[in-house]
Amino acid sequence: MLFIIVGGFVGAYAFLLHYNLRELRKLHRKSADFDHYSLSRTYQFKENVVVMKMLCKIAVPFFTLLIPAFVFYALFIETPQLEEYELLRMVSAAMFDWWIGLICCFSGLSYPFFDIRFRRAARKIKFFRRCRKQRETVSTISKVPNCTATTEAYFNWLDEDWR
């Protein structure tokens, strides 16, 4: 049943993405006569395609991260409810809960790495600004504070040697 639901969702998603791309191509062919409605419709289709492609990039890592949670859940459900298996069942339930919490933390922290729009929004959050600042201080090369004055002085000095 779950396979049918997931398959239906993926099929509907693929259909919508294909429909948006097809409509966007149609609008580009008729680009000679633009009015306000066709311009906003073109923008909306472009936005739909960008968001849907971004969601595809996000979905693949998260579904791979959910595999252990499904394993823990299946282990909890399929283990017999006997006293000797009670520890295994409770540990698998605890690991399932822990794994879901870990995925929630990971997803919240990883969104700025998927798209530039998330990075722009993350600049307002102090934690991401601090992480970015630390990364920039490690990766930057020290620069001369007044480059143009130093460059001019250097070339003037060379010019004096040639005279």
What 14-17 contacts at long range (C-beta under 8 Å, 24+ apart), as own/partner pairs, is 16/48, 16/52, 17/49, 17/52, 17/53
Spell out the residues 6+ positions from residue 22 whose beta carbon is closer than 8 angstroms to its own: none
Per-residue pLDDT tens over the stretch 131-155: 777 766 655 555 555 667 667 776 7
Nearest alpha-carbon partner for 100 in 76, 128, 125, 127: 76
Per-residue pLDDT tens over the stretch 10-31: 888 888 888 888 888 887 776 5
Spell out the residues 6+ positions from residue 81 whose beta carbon is closer than 8 angstroms to its own: 89
Nearest alpha-carbon partner for 10 in 49, 46, 50, 60: 60
* pLDDT for the residue 147: 65
Whether the per-residue pLDDT at 119 is higher than 80: the answer is no
Per-residue pLDDT tens over the stretch 66-95: 899 999 999 999 999 999 999 999 999 999
Residue spans of the domains in the chain: they are 2-140
Per-residue pLDDT tens over the stretch 121-134: 777 778 777 777 77
